[in-house]
């Protein structure tokens, strides 16, 4: 951000026409990127904001945020008036107006009602994967920054982090599918047919069966956590290393053990930095589609994740809707028409607002942190 060189060299002569020409063309390219980005946001806000925002209090169309996703029915009644109703309201309408004819009925999948299901699903996936990734990632970062010395093991760990960071998200999808969906162990009394291996546990009929968690919230969280792990480790290690060495030396000199030093003198000062950079990681986790396509996401679901569960743990083993997958479905599987625009642009607008506020929040926090923590 702050580049002292550019200040020192500010006084140099500006040069002649060639200098200006190069400067101008490079500036043009730069501002072209900015303009394209602005156009993109403008388009989404222009078409999406009217869906969500209303002119009357509470200024937000809560129905779109809080209703379940349904099929949209568009039809004319006998008086020639057009109706657009989501499936549940449509069946109520048909019941109320029994015997009246309906004309030109058309249905649009996924386009009626609201998007509470995808929003909740994305929140669950994000929270679950961030909990996993932060736990393992920060622990790994503590080892790398506080304990590790040059050794072949550390070299291998760094190489693995570097490689993991570059793997395409669809390959993580394949990995999650073949490992978490099809191969990880579960404790069950009735192992599935495709199990890879069963290990008897000698407790009743229960066996440890390597048959996977099926497509489920847990499998999706685990896949996303693996994907984001290198980002979390790198960011956390950076935050830990930013804590001055003197803090550690002082604590150790007072007779604290290594773990006491970390717990009282290193972690508390690095936690703000870790959390700030994990906000950026959240935007990535929330936005990814490819890893959850085969591991957790489902296009249509009648209930919210916690409804109609036999026991609370079934939440982890049920499929969820997710906002990015919902947008993919809306973009790829249904034709664009005036009736689907509300669902399409509305969902994208909500999604972009969530991601933008996370990313903006992370930027603000980082700026604040920089001014506050100066050692």
Partner 1 sequence: MPQTDQVPHRFSKHGFSLEKAIRFFFASNAGLTIVILLLIIAFLLKEGLGFFPGYRRELQVYRIAGLEFVDLSRSNLSAHEQLASVLNRAYFAEINGLCTRELKRSQEAAALFNAFSDRSSATRELLVSNLGAGAEAHPDLLATLRKNHAASIHQALAALPATPHLTSAERADLLQSIATRDVTATDDPPLVASLAQQYAAAQQQQSVPLARLRETIDAFEAAGADLSVLVSDMTATVTATKEAIQNADILNKGRASLLAAAGHAKDPATRERLLTDARRSLAANPDIDAPMQALMLHKPVCCAAHTALRQACATILEQLPPTLSQPEAQRLLRAARSATGPFLANLANTPQRISEWRHDQPVPLSAAIGSFLTGKDWVTGGEWQDFYGILPLLVGSLMISLVALCLAIPAGVGAAIYINQFASLMEQAIVKPVIEFIQAVPSVVLGFIGILVFGSVLRDISQLDALAWVPGFPIEERLNIFTAGCLLALMSIPTIFSLAEDALNNVPAAYAEASDALGASRLQTSFRVIIPAAFSGILAAVLLGLGRVIGETMVVLLVAGNRIKIPDFSSGIGAFLQPSHTLTGIIAQELGEVPLGSVHYQALFVVGILLFAIVLGINATAHQFISRPRN
Residue list 215-274, contact with partner 1 (CB under 8 A) = 226, 229-230, 233, 241, 245, 248-249, 252, 257-259
- Least separation in angstroms between CB 190 and partner 1: 17
Q: Are 230 and 165 in contact (CB under 8 A)?
A: yes
Site string for partner 1, 83-102 (x = CB under 8 A): ------------------x-
Rule CB under 8 A: say whether 328 interacts with partner 1. yes
- Of residues 334, 353, 359, 369, which one binds partner 1 by CB under 8 A? 359
Count residues contacting partner 1 (CB under 8 A)? Answer: 113
Q: What residues from 20 to 39 belong to the interface with partner 1 (CB under 8 A)?
A: 22-23, 25-27, 29-34, 36-38
Measured from the CB atom, is 4 or 200 closer to partner 1?
A: 4
Residue 285 CB coordination number (10 Å):
24
CB nearer partner 1, residue 87 or residue 142: 142
Q: How far is the CB of 169 from partner 1 (least distance, A)?
A: 6
- Say whether residue 286 binds partner 1 (CB under 8 A): yes
Q: Which is nearer to partner 1, 145 or 318 (CB)?
A: 145
Joined tokens for residue 81: 């008036």
Whole-number minimum distance, CB 8 to partner 1, in Å? 7
For residue 128, what are its two tokens?
């679950």
Cβ proximity to partner 1, 318 vs 329, nearer residue: 329
- Determine if 17 is a binding residue for partner 1 (CB under 8 A): no
Closest CB 143 distance from partner 1, rounded Å:
4
Tokens of 31: 């501002």
Q: What are phi and psi of 15, to 5 degrees?
A: 85, -175
With helix as H, strand as E and coil as C, how does 87-142 read? HHHHHHHHHHCCCCCCEEEEEEEEEEECCHHHHHHHHHHHHHHHHHHHHHHHHHHH
- Measured between alpha carbons, how far is 169 from 164 in angstroms, rounded to an integer? 10
The residue whose two tokens read 């930027």 is 363
Query: Which sign, positive or negative, has the C-alpha torsion 233, 235, 237, 243?
Result: negative
130, two tokens: 């961030």
3-class SS of residue 70: strand
Q: Does 12 bind partner 1 (CB under 8 A)?
A: yes
Sole binder of partner 1 in the list 114, 220, 324, 346 (CB under 8 A): 324
Q: Please, which of residues 48-87 interact with partner 1 by CB under 8 A? A: 76, 78-80, 82
CA distance 240 to 203: 44
User: Cα(329)–Cα(72) distance, rounded to whole angstroms?
Assistant: 15
Q: Which stretch, 64-72, 268-276, 282-290, 309-317, contacts partner 1 (CB under 8 A)?
A: 282-290
Q: How far is the CB of 179 from partner 1 (least distance, A)?
A: 5
Residue 235 C-beta: closest distance to partner 1, Å: 14
Quick one: tokens of 142? 């503590």
Angle of helix 217-242 relative to helix 116-142, nearest 10 degrees?
40
- Contacts of residue 190, defined as CB under 8 A and 6 or more positions apart, other chains included, come to none
Residue 76: cis peptide before it, omega within 30 degrees of 0 = no
Of 298, 346, 344, 354, which Cα lies nearest the Cα of 321? 298
Nearer to partner 1, 306 or 370 (CB): 370
C-beta of 302: minimal distance to partner 1 in Å? 20
Residue 328: CB minimum distance to partner 1, A: 5
| Beta carbons of 296 and 219 less than 8 angstroms apart | yes
Residue closer to partner 1 by CB (options 13, 204) is 13
Interface mask (CB under 8 A) for partner 1, residues 179-218, using x and -? x--xx----------x------------------------
Strand pairing category for 69-76 and 103-113:
antiparallel
Around 166, how many Cα atoms within 13 Å sit in the side-chain half-sphere?
A: 5
Binding mask 122-161 for partner 1 (x = CB under 8 A): --------------x--xx-xxxxxxx----xx-xx--xx
Residue among 25 and 307 whose Cβ is closer to partner 1: 25
C-beta of residue 219 within 8 angstroms of C-beta of residue 318: no
């Amino acid at each position: 951000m702050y580049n002292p060189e550019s200040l020192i060299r500010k006084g140099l002569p500006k040069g002649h026409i060639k200098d200006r020409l190069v400067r101008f063309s490079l500036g043009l390219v730069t501002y072209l990127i900015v303009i394209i980005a602005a156009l993109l946001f403008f388009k989404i806000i222009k078409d999406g904001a009217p869906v969500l925002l209303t002119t009357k209090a509470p200024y937000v169309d809560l129905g779109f945020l809080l209703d379940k996703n349904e099929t949209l029915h568009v039809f004319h009644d006998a008086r020639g008036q057009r109706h657009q109703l989501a499936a549940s309201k449509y069946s109520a309408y048909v019941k109320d107006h029994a015997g009246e004819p309906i004309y030109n009925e058309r249905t649009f999948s996924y386009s009626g009602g609201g998007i509470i299901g995808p929003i909740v699903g994305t929140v669950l996936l994000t929270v679950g994967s961030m909990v996993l990734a932060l736990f393992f990632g920060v622990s790994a970062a503590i080892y790398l920054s506080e304990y590790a010395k040059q050794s072949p093991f550390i070299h291998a760990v760094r190489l693995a982090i570097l490689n993991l960071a570059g793997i395409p998200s669809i390959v993580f999808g394949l990995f999650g599918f073949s490992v978490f969906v099809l191969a990880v162990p579960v404790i069950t009394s009735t192992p599935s047919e495709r199990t890879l291996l069963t290990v008897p546990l000698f407790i009743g009929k229960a066996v440890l069966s390597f048959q996977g968690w099926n497509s489920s919230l847990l499998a999706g969280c685990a896949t996303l956590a693996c994907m984001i792990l290198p980002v979390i480790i790198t960011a956390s290690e950076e935050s830990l290393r930013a804590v001055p060495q003197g803090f550690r030396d002082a604590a150790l000199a007072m007779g604290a053990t290594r773990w006491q030093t970390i717990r009282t003198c290193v972690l508390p000062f690095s936690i703000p930095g870790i959390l700030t950079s994990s906000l950026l990681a959240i935007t990535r986790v929330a936005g990814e589609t490819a890893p959850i396509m085969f591991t957790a996401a489902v296009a249509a679901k009648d209930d919210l994740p916690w409804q109609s569960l036999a026991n609370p743990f079934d939440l982890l083993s049920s499929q969820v809707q997710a906002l990015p997958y919902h947008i993919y479905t809306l973009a790829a599987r249904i034709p664009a028409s005036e009736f689907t625009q509300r669902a399409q642009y509305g969902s994208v607008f909500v999604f972009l607002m969530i991601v933008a506020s996370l990313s903006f929040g992370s930027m603000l926090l980082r700026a604040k942190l920089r001014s506050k923590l100066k050692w």
